[in-house]
Chains A and B, each alone.
Chain A
């Protein structure tokens, strides 16, 4: 299975070759979509982790053991369909093509699996219908 997650690294993990270990020891496919280091707060990595369920579980346990926070993207960006007026303002901005609109109803469709948690939609939405967990 594949899991798209935001990994939050505490500063103390800076010396641990995390990605290398995930690949080498747990045989996971790691696709880094975004990486950033925040001063004083450690680092943040947006990744797709892919592999057999058991290996994925062990890899996640290893990460938790290091104190790494794991938030699946499907839970970091949420869309409130009741607030949304389906204007479309967010659709063409989305780099992950996670947002779409069209016939028959022209309502917004949000596919969390394609979301790369960039936050562009949340900033652009005039009705403030997206919530982000950061």
Chain B
């Protein structure tokens, strides 16, 4: 009889303190000798994690009302622009927003400072309305003075990502870090066999409402992430060899820790945010047991040349080779390193495992599965764009 378990059964074991929880790296080692059937019989939950710069991140904040009332339209926190085109005292601070004239401080820092409990200067202006006569406020806030502040990241936890190199003659400064010219180095970006969506590549257990570890707090998967692409070419181990699915995630910033959330500055590119995510995967059957025991050498990714206008694909490699620190390209050995922290990802996978074993974190079944067969569209070329709407639209 093949083994099958339900999430309820696994949760009952977690509550009884008898669930067997391993990290995705531990189960990958186990998979070198044990069969999927044995793994399904012995392991209940596998913890996966990633800690990397994720530009598509930000936080909604409700500042609380002022006296007299003010509809905040132009808002800054420590001089970093906050989006104010929502209700009176709501705003959204995106990770890549920057302080004008100061590329070293931006939204990522605002979010880190808020999580750390530091005070930030809030300045806001509105035009003054009958119901909100105020026009201006200049004050200080912390995460404890605001009503709500929650991270809402439209695209995190990319399922695989390309390796970046640069064949041009000059050094390039990119979101993949500094790329030395003439293929001087290579940069990659996922935690490989520990990475969440590479351990459940068909998203059988991850969907709307999946409870996750988000920067130290309990968070949730809120929606398929932007640029959600489930039609990428897959290798014989069933994982996409190009950036695939993504997740939109949400969680209470008041509960987060700067150990798992950190501002990032990329030279001549801008500000971003290191986000730490952990996702528990229930080992429901042999198929999932096989998926979670995937190893670095089985996970391939594509090398892209950022030195060409179209970021030409140059070939394929796998995470075992990337981890060894050298990439072979046309017979050349190129030193490579990551942009995402394996040591932090391991810490997250272990911390999530501890919480599950302690009965403090149970698993949730997705309330909606994510779509399959999706791909990406490009922004319309002006010549091919649909005609402007006759009423109200762009002129």
Instruction: Please report A residues at the B interface, Cβ cutoff 8 Å.
Output: 85-93, 101-102, 105-107, 120, 123-124, 126-128
Query: Are the CB atoms of B262 and A127 closer together than 8 Å?
Result: yes
Decide: A92 and B337 in contact? CB cutoff 8 A.
Answer: yes
Which residues of chain A are within 8 angstroms of B337 by Cβ–Cβ distance? Answer: 88-93, 101
Q: Which of B264, B334, B339, B343 contacts A105 (CB 8 A)?
A: B343
Residue B249 at the chain A interface, CB threshold 8 Å: no
Interface residues of B in 277-296 (CB under 8 A from A): none
A85 and B338 within 8 A (CB): no
B340 sits at the interface (CB 8 A): yes
| Identity of the chain A residue whose Cβ is nearest the Cβ of B334 in the assembled complex | A92
Distance from B320 Cβ to chain A, minimum over Cβ atoms (Å)? 12
Closest residue of chain B to A89 (Cβ to Cβ) is B177
Q: Which residues of A contact B180 (CB under 8 A)?
A: 93
Contact of A92 among B53, B104, B336, B342 (CB under 8 A): B336
A87 engages B52 (CB within 8 Å): yes
Cα(A8)–Cα(B181), bound, Å: 30
Q: A residues within 8 A CB of B262?
A: 85, 127
Q: How far is the CA of A123 from the CA of B83 in the complex (A)?
A: 29
- Which of A90, A93, A107, A123 lies at the interface centre, i.e. has the most chain B CB atoms within 10 A of its CB? A93
Q: Which residues from B are CB-within-8-Å of A127?
A: 262-265, 274
Tell me if B185 counts as interface (CB < 8 A to partner A).
yes
B194 to chain A, nearest CB (A): 11
* B338 cross-chain contacts in A, Cβ below 8 A: 87-89
CB contacts (< 8 Å) of B272 on chain A: these are: 126
> Which residues of B are found within 8 Å of A102, using beta-carbon distances?
323, 325
Q: Which of A90, A106, A124, A127 has the most CB of B within 10 A?
A: A124
The answer to whether B177 touches A106 (Cβ under 8 A) is no
Looking at A85, A91, A106, the one whose CB has the most chain B CB atoms below 10 A away is A85
Do residues A92 and B186 form an inter-chain contact, with CB atoms below 8 A? yes
Q: How far is the CB of A59 from chain B (nearest CB, A)?
A: 35
**B-side contacts of A126, CB under 8 Å:** 53, 177, 264-266, 272, 274, 339
What are 20 residue pairs bridging A and B, where the CB atoms are less than 8 Å apart in the complex? Answer: A85-B274, A85-B344, A87-B274, A89-B178, A91-B325, A91-B335, A92-B185, A92-B186, A92-B325, A92-B336, A93-B184, A102-B323, A106-B342, A120-B178, A123-B178, A124-B177, A126-B264, A126-B265, A127-B262, A127-B264
Q: Interface majority SS on B: helix, strand, loop or mixed?
A: strand
A interface, over-half SS: loop
| Cβ-defined contact, B340 with A124, below 8 A | no
Please name the residue on chain A nearest to B274 by beta carbon: A85
CB distance from B348 to the nearest CB of A (A): 12
Closest B residue to A90 using CB positions: B337
User: Given the complex, which residues of A lie within 8 Å of B263, measured CB to CB?
Assistant: 127
Q: In the bound complex, how far is the Cα of B187 from the Cα of A128, in angstroms?
A: 18
Nearest-Cβ distance from residue A80 to partner chain B, whole angstroms = 13
In the complex formed, the residue of A with least CB distance to B269 is A126
In Å, the complex CA distance between A124 and B262 comes to 16
Contact between B341 and A87, CB atoms less than 8 A apart? yes
Contact B341 A86 (CB under 8 A): yes
Whole-angstrom distance between the alpha carbons of A126 and B344 in the complex? 15
CB <8 Å contact, A124 and B53: no
Does B312 sit at the interface, judged by CB under 8 A?
A: no
How long is the Cα–Cα vector from A126 to B337 in the complex, in angstroms? 14
Interchain CB contact under 8 A, A89 and B346: no
CA distance in complex: A87, B323 (Å): 13
Contact of B51 with A by CB under 8 A:
yes
Whether B344 and A92, one on each chain, are in contact in the complex, defined by CB atoms closer than 8 angstroms, is no
Taking A88-B340, A92-B186 as given, write out 14 further A-B residue pairs in contact, using a Cβ cutoff of 8 Å, ordered by the A residue number.
Answer: A85-B262, A86-B341, A86-B342, A87-B53, A92-B334, A92-B335, A93-B184, A102-B323, A106-B346, A124-B177, A126-B264, A127-B263, A127-B274, A128-B104
